[in-house]
Amino acid sequence: MLVGAAAGIVPRRHQQAAVRAETLELALPTVAVVVPSPGKAASSLALPAEIRPWLDAPIYARASGYLKRRWVDIGTTVTNGQLLAEIDAPELERDLERARAELAQAEAALALAKTTAERWNELLRSKHVSAQEAAEKQADYQLKAASVEAVKATVRRLADLLAFTHVTAPFDGVITARNTDVGELIAAGGEKELFRLAQTRQLRVYVRVPQSLARAVVPGQTAQMTIPEMPGRVFPATVVRTSGAMSADSRTLLTELEVDNEKGEILAGSFAQVSFDGAKLEVPLTLPANTLLFRADGPQVGVVLAGGKVALRSVRLGRDFGSVVEILAGVTPADRVILNPPDSLIDGAMVRVAEAAMAE
| CATH code, 208 | 2.40.30.170
Give kind and range of the element (H or E) at residue 160: helix 131-163
Please indicate, yes or no, if residue 178 is contained in any of the structural domains.
no
232 falls within a domain: yes
DSSP collapsed to 3 states, 135-157: HHHHHHHHHHHHHHHHHHHHHHH
**Phi, psi angles (nearest 5°) of residue 175:** -75, 115
Local structure of 187: helix, strand or coil: coil
Q: Are strands 316-320 and 324-329 parallel, antiparallel or unpaired?
A: antiparallel
Residue 312: inside a domain: yes
Q: Are 221 and 268 in contact (CB under 8 A)?
A: no
Pairing, β 337-338 against β 33-34: antiparallel
Return the pLDDT at 19.
54
Q: Which of 269, 247, 278, 260 is nearest to 203 (CA)?
A: 260
Which H helix or E strand runs over 38? strand 37-38
CB 4 within 8 A of CB 252: no
pLDDT for 11-40, tens place per residue? 666 665 555 555 555 557 777 888 888 876
Report d(CA 76, CA 173) in Å as an integer. 8
CA angle, 347 then 349 then 350, to 5°: 145
Q: What proportion of the chain, given as a percentage, has pLDDT over 90? A: 45
Domain boundary among 276, 296, 316: 276
For residue 290, tell me if it sits in a domain. Answer: yes
Residue 187 lies in a domain: no
The predicted structure's pLDDT at residue 315: 86
Domain count, the chain: 3
Query: Are residues 248 and 218 part of one domain?
Result: yes
What is the pLDDT, as a whole number, of residue 286? 86
- Which pLDDT belongs to residue 279? 63
Integer Cα distance of 325 and 59 in angstroms: 56
Q: Are residue 221 and residue 249 in the same domain, yes or no?
A: yes
* Parent domain of 272: 46-54+201-276
Same domain, 272 and 326: no
Mapped onto helix, strand or coil, the DSSP state of residue 182 is coil
Which domain CATH number covers 117? 1.10.287.470
Q: Does 151 lie in the same domain as 131? A: yes
Q: Which residues of the chain have pLDDT under 70?
A: 1-27, 40-45, 278-282, 355-360
